[in-house]
Amino acid sequence: MPDITIGPFKRAQGSIVLPGSKSISNRALLLAALASGTTILKNLLDADDTQIMRNALRQLGLSVTDQANHICTVEGCGGQFPVREADLLMGNAGTAIRPLTAALAMQGGNYRLSGVPRMHERPIRDLVDGLRQVGAKIDYELQDGYPPIKISAADIQIKDVVKVRGDVSSQFLTALLMALPLVASEPVRIEVLGELISRPYIDITLKLMARFGINVTCPDSQSFVIPAKTVGAVYKSPGQLSVEGDASSASYFLALGAIGGGPVRVLGVGSDSIQGDVAFADALALMGANITAGEDWIEVAGVKNASGRLNGITIDCTEIPDAAMTLAVAALFAEGPTRLNNIASWRVKETDRIAAMASELRKVGATVEEGADYIVVNAPAQGDWKSPSDGIDTYDDHRMAMCFSLAAFGPHALKINEPHCVAKTFPTYFAEFAKVVS
């Protein structure tokens, strides 16, 4: 997809059927692969990150069959991958490389995992340290603490509490939770050191593990106990599993409903969602948006203020790190400053999202303050909006491209560079966006 110029727009209204959740899709694919029996996954996200996971599973000897209408059939391996040696290219898919690393470390085989250059800058040390505690043999190929990594056959023995840091990425804990049941001859206790960020993503992991027959208990907020392995396969297929719509992707359209008057309705997530990013709707409500919701839909119809503008807010974004990016761009349409706190995890995502967000917001005229774990955005006055001739850079980061589509509701047309990066999670984003804006 070449660079695109969009806007200026004044109105947004309509409805959007959301693609499947990336977080749920990649967890469900791996659990289905490790389970006994056949699992039919419905509404599976068809995007770069889930294709990376599917292709890796096929390399490992699994039958993973894509069918029409976002249905995928996975023949489980009962916990033991058929292929004992593989070199896996994981792109920039954190939700694929991290849990797969942990599962492969339990296999007794020899594997190499690498990715694109940015993946080799994204930390994996805390996960590797956790796996080494149970005897896994994992070596860094280039730089300590980062992929590429090599996993060698090892004797896995869990003799003590497994400890893992929780303040860099919740994906490290997710990976351990999903993999350690494969070798849990006795109950296994995992303890989180320090703050556990993005707790709602751990809740997704626990709920999906329960669907596949493993019920993890939580004696306190920092501890997780995996039950002892029973005879036979650990995970058991639920037969069918339907993937919710992606709540992070919903955030762009919900924000459109506030900025562009609405009503805009997203279909596929609602009050019954297991995804933490549905709390984005609560944040938007704090900014003054009119929100209504049902079990599997959320709708936004403008704002309550007579001015028609959102209110700036200060908010702790620990539990909505991805959707919080949308708040940063929505702040362009707010009265007063918007401060997003506890977003340190942005620094180790597809790009350094705090630096990238600050840079691009300034291009359109916003005043921005950035810190190690926060960002403060002040909207430009109406006459101070800018239309950068060099366009908005997206840093090969799908969320940067989707977030900044909202800025086309300013007074100027906006060029977005390299918009094809949305293929990571939402390949049809700009086509869907075009359907609801005018």
For the stretch 92-102, pLDDT in tens is 999 999 999 99
Listed residue (238, 289, 295) closest to 268, CA to CA: 295
346 in any annotated domain: yes
Overall average pLDDT of the 403-416 stretch: 98
Q: Residue 231: pLDDT band by 50, 70, 90 thresholds?
A: low
Q: HSE (CB half, 13 Å, CA atoms) of 302?
A: 8
Residue 37 and residue 9 share a domain: no
Specify whether 282 is located in the same domain as 408.
yes
Residue where a domain stops, chosen among 230, 254, 287: 230
Same domain (yes/no): 190, 99: yes
Predicted local confidence at residue 78, as pLDDT: 96
326 in the same domain as 225: no
Predicted confidence band at 305 (pLDDT cuts at 50, 70, 90)? confident
Exposure b/e, 336-369, CB count within 10 A at least 16 = b: ebbbbbbbbbbeebbbbbbebbbebbbbbbbebe
Angle at CA of residue 198, ends 193 and 203, nearest 5°:
95
| Same-domain pairing of 284 and 194 | no
Look at residue 237 and tell me if it is in a domain: no
pLDDT over 90, % of the chain:
97
User: Has residue 235 been placed in a domain?
Assistant: no
For the four alpha carbons of 184, 188, 192 and 196, in that order, the dihedral sign comes to positive
Q: Which pLDDT value is given to residue 204?
A: 97
Asked if residue 255 and residue 128 are part of one domain, the reply reads no
**What phi, psi does 389 have (nearest 5°)?**
-65, -30
Rounded CA separation 8/21 (Å) = 30
In a domain? residue 219: yes
Q: Is residue 321 part of a domain?
A: yes
- Assess whether 294 and 305 both reside in one domain: yes
Pairwise CA distance, residues 405 & 6, whole Å = 8
Same domain? 204 vs 304: no
Q: Torsions phi, psi of 99, nearest 5?
A: -65, -30
Question: Per DSSP, which regions of 70-187 are E strands?
Answer: 71-75, 85-89, 110-114, 137-140, 149-152, 162-165
Distance separating alpha carbons of residues 198 and 202, to the nearest angstrom? 7
Q: Residue 279 has what pLDDT?
A: 97
* pLDDT tops 70 at residue 324: yes
45-73: per-residue pLDDT in tens?
999 999 999 999 999 999 999 999 999 99
> Same structural domain for residues 118 and 189?
yes
pLDDT tens by residue, 112-169: 999 999 999 999 999 999 999 999 999 999 999 999 999 999 999 999 999 999 999 9
The domain of 371 spans: 4-19+245-436
Longest dimension (CA), the chain: 70
Residue 330 CA to residue 318 CA, distance in Å, equals 18
The reply to whether 238 falls in a domain is: no
Give the separation between CA 90 and CA 249, rounded to whole angstroms: 22
Position 230 scores a pLDDT of: 75
Do residue 286 and residue 371 come from a single domain?
yes
Amino acid letter, 431: A
Q: What positions carry a catalytic annotation? A: 322
174 plus 275 within the same structural domain: no
How many domains is the chain built from? 2
Rg of the chain, C-alpha, whole Å: 22
Same domain assignment for residues 385 and 273: yes
Final residue in a domain of this structure, among 176, 199, 230: 230
The verdict on residue 370 lying in a domain is yes
pTM: 0.94
Buried b (16+ CB within 10 A) or exposed e, 248-285: bbbbbbbbbbbbbbbbbbbbbbbeebbbbbbbbbebbe
Q: Is residue 343 part of a domain?
A: yes
pLDDT at 312 over 70: yes
**pLDDT band at residue 271 under the 50/70/90 scheme:** very high
CB 290 within 8 A of CB 254: no
On whether the CB atoms of residues 403 and 392 are closer than 8 A, the answer is no
CATH at residue 226: 3.65.10.10
Average confidence score pLDDT of the chain:
96
pLDDT of the residue at 80: 96
Per-residue pLDDT tens digits for 352-369: 999 999 999 999 999 999
